[in-house]
Chains A and B, each alone.
Chain A
Amino acid sequence: MLLIRSSVGRKIIMAVTGQLMVLFVILHVAGNMTIYFDLINAYAEKLHAFPPIVWSYRIIMITVVLTHIVFGLILKIENLLSNPHGYVIKQSIRKTFASETMIWSGAFIALFIVYHLFHFTVQSINPELSARLNTDAMGRPDVMNMLVGNFQIASIGLFYVSGMIALLLHLSHGVQSSFQTLGLNSEKSIPIIVKAGKLAAFLIFVAYVSIPILIMVGLMDL
């Protein structure tokens, strides 16, 4: 199939799966924000109320993530083979640290996702804090307790912050790149999309890290 074989087709797959994940990441962080209204347990309970929806959502996301990883690796390997450069001196003019390290920020995000799923979905890491085992006064899984208990452990809090730094890097190049790949760009829009992409990456980053950081420094408690 053209989409899978062609260089441009593969890039389009990266951009579409990338944008779907950006959408997911935004919905996810919006959900996280319920913590500031003391609603996180209620939100978590509603979210999981209807298992068929939860599972379809999960299957779609797993497919999207795996597709993105597989094609990201294919593109990266091809790119390395196309460029045995070996310039004695090479100056870069426009590429950025973020654009150069997509594969590494991506790899760290993949590691983060695996940890995160075992941590807060399967809840097999620090099971004594598991929300499923500890319910709140209303009998709901106590997500708040799980978050606070875990993020008070500095190594865990810092790992989450570093995961989000990787996401910040990945998206500060990825968002604008995906618009260019999908052809949704013009000479006028390019500088705007580059800036807006970085801003979006930054806002997502701040929203995510605010929770572990506030808990680590003790400003958020049970």
Chain B
Amino acid sequence: MDLSLFVWRQQAPDVQGEMVAYSAKGISEDMSFLEMLDVVNEGLISNGEVPIAFDHDCREGICGTCSQVINGVPHGPMERTTVCQLHMRNFKDGDTIFIEPLRAKAFPILKDLIVDRGALDRIIQEGGYISVHTGGVPDANSVLISRKDAETAMDASECIGCGACVAACPNGSAMLFTASKVSHLAALPQGKIEADQRVRSMTNAMKKEQFGNCSNHYECNAVCPKGVKISFIAKLNREFIKSMISGDSSD
């Protein structure tokens, strides 16, 4: 199939970018969206032009590197699918496709479709850890966890940190991301020790990194490639209230 593309091209962080038109010819419906871009880039390179810069790594939907905003939706039209897992059979011959980077104050554009998502890492650094004894490997099942808690923690830990939630949020908020990390560890006995401190530090980091506040629009969940649930945002809020009541009030 043949497609017309409009792709955001921006040479450097401080340079004004713009949408540039390209055509993608002879695309197979079995290709992934990234493979389609590879074909376009090969064409650009053979014409001596600068290829479109985009992030990617695993290409199997688990690393969260490949976020792009396709026709106004982070990760494009397929629900619960990353860009690398989005197949061209979801498009028709002759379609026009708009491709933009994730946009938010906290995600400065580095080049074309690549943004700096380091702000998410800095939120993780504030509390995405637990305290354990180092040394010998503990016996399996030495800490018992109920099936329900294990399931909750697993669901929350599905977040791959791609940043689609931030890009979809009208407020550029990282609540769904932060909520998934806070909920994941708060659900497990190993995470209880730092629970109070964690929810405060991570939500403070969120603010410091200039993410917006959650207005409960729920756009985040609609685009999340892993379908992380908004009930985790309610859980983060509960953890926060708990930490205000029971935590020490030093900060």
Query: Contact between A176 and B219 (Cβ–Cβ < 8 Å)?
Result: no
- A186–B230 Cα distance when bound, in Å, is 9
With a cutoff of 8 Å between Cβ atoms, the chain A residues found around residue B240 in the complex are 6, 8-9, 12, 183
**Does B67 count as interface, using CB distance less than 8 angstroms?**
no
- B213-244 Cβ-contact flags toward A at 8 Å (1 or 0): 11111110111000001110111111111001
Select one of A84, A89, A94, A184 contacting B100, CB under 8 A: A89
- A152–B222 Cα distance when bound, in Å, is 47
**Does B72 count as interface, using CB distance less than 8 angstroms?**
yes
With a cutoff of 8 Å between Cβ atoms, the chain A residues found around residue B114 in the complex are none
Main secondary structure of the interface of B (DSSP, over half): mixed
- A93–B213 Cα distance when bound, in Å, is 19
Query: Contact between A187 and B229 (Cβ–Cβ < 8 Å)?
Result: yes
Query: Contact between A88 and B19 (Cβ–Cβ < 8 Å)?
Result: yes
**Does A150 count as interface, using CB distance less than 8 angstroms?**
no
Select one of B73, B100, B213, B244 contacting A88, CB under 8 A: B100
Nearest Cβ in chain A — how far from B79, in angstroms?
Answer: 9
- Given A86-B103, A89-B72, A99-B215, A2 and B210 contact (CB-CB distance below 8 Å): no
Select one of A11, A88, A186 contacting B231, CB under 8 A: A186
Residue count of chain A within 8 Å CB distance of chain B: 43
**Does A32 count as interface, using CB distance less than 8 angstroms?**
no
Interface residues of A (CB under 8 A from B): 2-3, 6-12, 75, 78-79, 81-96, 99-100, 102, 173, 176-177, 180-187, 190
Interface residues of B (CB under 8 A from A): 6, 8, 19, 69, 71-73, 98, 100, 103-106, 168-173, 200, 203-204, 206-207, 210-219, 221-223, 229-231, 233-241, 244, 249, 251
